[in-house]
A and B are shown apart, each in its own frame.
Chain A
Amino acid sequence: MSAETAEKVASDETARATRLAKAGDWSRRAPLLPALIFVIILTQLPFIATLVVSFMNWNAYYPDERGFAGFDNFARVFTDSNTRSAVIVTILLTVLVVGISLVLGMAIALLLDRKFMGRGIVRTLMITPFLVVPVAAALLWKHALYNPEYGLLNGTLKAVLGDNAPQPDWISNNPLLAIVAALVWQWTPFMMLILLAGLQSRPLDVVEAARIDGASSWQIFRSMTLPHMRQYIELSALLGAIYVVQNFDHVFTITSGGLGTANLPYFIYQTFYTAQDYGRASAAGVVVVIGTILIATAALRTAFSLFKEEGK
């Protein structure tokens, strides 16, 4: 074999190698693309369209007045007291539901992290609320529990305290808390499940040793359990918040957004579906997304640190 042919073969080899590497890149990407393209088309495109509509005058009841509106819709969103109230309700709802569910979930997870008779049954009973379809759960709370005339709450009051028992109208008296309670009932099991899994992954020999060493339960909880549980608490709070921020079913069913309980999802639904004010609904949607991005960046950072700790 002459030197020339050898060189040619060698350069052919390198060309083939780069070609292979490139083909390798694409063969790596190929399985990812269907899912990625699917998600981009269905989540990013609609949002870009929302952004466009948010700068338009567009009410389906007045089709002739369609046109460019500049920042009018945003100005209306920011000055409108309904929108402001919707923002506050959304924040309150999320913070209260996630906060209370976390504390309750943690307490119950600690109770279930022991050996006792019927532990499996209690765990099953505990997750039942999470497995009720949200609309059905909201209907159940509104009609079977909260109803002032024949709901279980007032029924129990009368059964226990007699005929003079107070019979409050739960929803009218505290509309937002009525929704919070129904949501806490569904989300506590969720928090409890993740936190219990966290508790059960504790290195028990160390805890046991600390106990033998004379550490009190509270000391162990504070300096050993809580640090270990941090990532589980963050994870369940993050996931819970993602779902509760978007809650529509309970607000829609229990109060129909009345009595000052309309949160942003319900407000946008109403503006677009009932009032047919597409421009304004879109502007509100854009505001929600910007708010979500701000919160989500923080949340994603949390998720990312969790992800790194996973060691992958």
Chain B
Amino acid sequence: MSTSTPPTETVNGAEVAAEGREPQEVNHARNPKSHILLTIAAWACGILFALPVLWMILTSFHKEEDAATNPPSLFAPLSLDGYRSFFDAGPWPPLLNSLTASVLSTILVLLLAFPAAYALSIRPVKKWTDVLFFFLSTKMLPIVAGILPIYLFAQKVNLLDNIWLLIILYTSMNLPIAVWMLRSFLAEVPVEMLEAAQVDGASLMTTLRKVIAPVVMPGIAAAALICFIFSWNELLLARVLTGTVAGTAPVFLTGFVTSQGLFLAKVCAASFVVSLPVLAAGFAAQDKLVQGLSMGAVK
């Protein structure tokens, strides 16, 4: 929602009182005591939500026998054994598969989504809202409802356990999100500027570079981030359609828990390593995350 609509209801006389005042940060708590309490509550929430992840990281650096104690041994000596046994289990092929599938499908998504978003905003086709909502409706079609024909088709044309099958499917999975996002950004390109560029005889490339790109680059970044995360995380399709060759990191993780012996440190190390690209990308681009998750509706 790029334009914030003013609240429909106003408290009596609010507007009169607002005159001549600078807008300022809401201070919910006037008295310092409740301000401190609310601050403590906010910190408590943040720590509580991050705690399982912090626990995962700490456990991943413990020896197996220290990881599985009750009560927990917080201050046990640190060790890299968990990571050693994770990397000994051959995680590189699945990690590389995940990287290939996520990066290539993200590039494909952007290549297909950008022209489509252009045709839905700047030079809109007729009934462009219908098209836009068709894209959104495909996101609501459960993947699981189409997985069997895809599996049978892939079997027939020998595409099972082939990374390209995942690349194509991840592209179709993320394309609607990217079209929505890029459209909402392209819709903000000032049309007068486009017209001026046209009158000046600017070529399409120049128009793209000078007028459209500056407005749309943040949108492209947000779309790329979100497409990468969703492809990297995907499990169901990868589990059904790949095997030993094209298996991705999430599939590798599901096969990582053994029934015998202690494995907690190893599982925590594996979970942390597999999540690391998403954590890094998400932290680096926190503001893009909101835009991406809301499909461009929140800017």
Chain A interface residues (CB < 8 Å from chain B):
25, 28-32, 34-36, 38-39, 42-47, 49-50, 53, 108, 110-119, 121-137, 139-141, 143-145, 147, 149-150, 152, 154-156, 158-159, 167, 185, 188-190, 193-194, 197-198, 201-213, 215, 217, 219-220, 223-224, 227-228, 231-232, 235-236, 239, 242, 245-246, 248-249, 252-253, 264-265, 268-269, 272-273, 278, 281-282, 285-286, 288-289, 292-293, 295-296, 299-300, 303-304, 306-307, 309-312
Contacts and interface: CB of A to CB of B under 8 A. Distances in A.
Closest 4 CB pairs of A and B: A46-B146, A31-B115, A49-B149, A136-B271
A278 B152 CA distance: 10
B209 to A, nearest CB: 17
B47 to A, nearest CB: 6
Give the residue among A143, A154, A304 with the most B Cβ atoms within 10 A. A143
A31 B151 CA distance: 30
A150 B286 CA distance: 34
A35 B24 contact: no
A312 B235 CA distance: 36
Contacts of A32: 115-116, 119-120, 125, 131
Given A155-B71, A193-B293, A265-B144, 20 more contacts: A45-B149, A110-B28, A124-B286, A127-B286, A188-B49, A197-B294, A204-B24, A205-B18, A209-B15, A224-B9, A227-B7, A231-B1, A235-B294, A249-B236, A253-B254, A272-B151, A285-B144, A289-B145, A299-B140, A300-B133
Interface of B: 1-15, 17-18, 21-29, 35, 38-39, 41-43, 45-47, 49-50, 52-53, 55-56, 59, 67-72, 112-113, 115-116, 118-120, 123-126, 129, 131, 133-153, 168-169, 171-172, 175-176, 179, 184, 187, 229, 232-233, 235-236, 239-240, 249-250, 253-254, 256-257, 263-264, 267-268, 270-272, 274-275, 278-279, 282-283, 286, 289-290, 293-295, 297-298
A159 B187 CA distance: 57
B142 A289 contact: yes
A76 to B, nearest CB: 16
Contact of A155 (B27, B72, B294): B72
Contact of A248 (B133, B184, B236): B236
A249 B17 CA distance: 53
Contact of B116 (A34, A47, A119): A34
A193 B289 contact: yes
B189 to A, nearest CB: 12
B236 to A, nearest CB: 5
A244 B187 CA distance: 30
